[in-house]
Structure 1
């Protein structure tokens, strides 16, 4: 089954089209989650390996937020803990995937889609899992890593648009509406997250 999913990933990543997704479509939620979890394990290993490179940056951020020294050392120690990184990644990936896929599925049904949840999840996992690994690698690349992440993000949005059409049996226009809704929600979430982080830094700077 893994080989089948890898072949499907290669197809949709190198020949992105609704037809490619439909050709490799399966109704299998369990293996979609397994595939996503495998990508999470790989990223957990990468994060643990590259953690020493990020220690200085992490320490500076936590100090700027006024985090106590003991808590800073504990946080830094956890960055290199491979077991914690892997299990936290697997748990977060499974829960996060179910929430995101479920939300997309509900939107698809609201727009008249007839596909199954398993088909949608399978199609999305074919591109999201390898792209997640690629993003993990890009995140560790200095200077140009941010640009690569942006390219991968844009490509992922496009592939998601195609996967929604195939997985939910929707015309391109309705799939575009769903993609726009998802983009706006993601942008709002990012703004809120950055806003809270900025406020936390400010609060740390004004702390006695």
Structure 2
């Protein structure tokens, strides 16, 4: 990490560079610009935007508590980001001898994840268009994630980078399923 940590404006400019000039080289320029604190602060912004939007639209649904919507979105984004980027680091390092650090992975992923997440949160509430936009954003997340694996973990083999991304997605899905099962079990067993 550089001696001076980037601020949100700097990170936004780095995000714009990554999104407008997608390449491993572009990610390489920024992967050591920040660390975990900056990555998670940036992701927290995306989580807050998504949580406010979820909470706001939860007001219009009588069967949904807006505070539950707000906090579940806030927590799930932060935990999901940590689980996924942690899986990228562990799988890349242990299976493909990647040499990146977890802070490099987290920071690199935050640069594309945050703006795409905010766009998804804003557009996602629009009927039909929202579903199409979320599908497109999912594809973009895979594409940028594939580039970020190559950069942040220094895995230049594109197949190994793809396998790392795929296995990380499976790990994310498994952890999410386990957590959801625990939460639902707690809710229904307490009734």
What TM-score does the superposition give when structure 1 sets the normalisation length? 0.72
2:131 & 2:157 partners in 1: Cα distance?
30
The structural deviation recorded for 1:9 is 0.7
2:163 & 2:16 partners in 1: Cα distance?
27
Higher helix residue share: 1
Higher RCO (CA < 8 A, seq sep 6+): 1
The structural deviation recorded for 1:188 is 6.7
1:146 & 1:186 partners in 2: Cα distance?
24
Larger gyration radius, structure 1 or structure 2: 1
The structural deviation recorded for 1:5 is 0.9
**Secondary structure in structure 1 of the residue aligned to 2:22:** coil
1:144 & 1:2 partners in 2: Cα distance?
29
2:82 pairs with 95, 98, 106, which one? 98
1:159 & 1:101 partners in 2: Cα distance?
13
Partner of 1:201: none
Aligned ranges 1:94-173 → 2 under 5 Å: 94-110=78-94, 111-173=96-158
How many residue pairs match? The answer is 168
Structure 1 unaligned residues grouped into runs of 5+? 56-72, 197-208
Aligned ranges 1:3-14 → 2 under 5 Å: 3-14=9-20
2:75 & 2:173 partners in 1: Cα distance?
24
The structural deviation recorded for 1:180 is 3.1
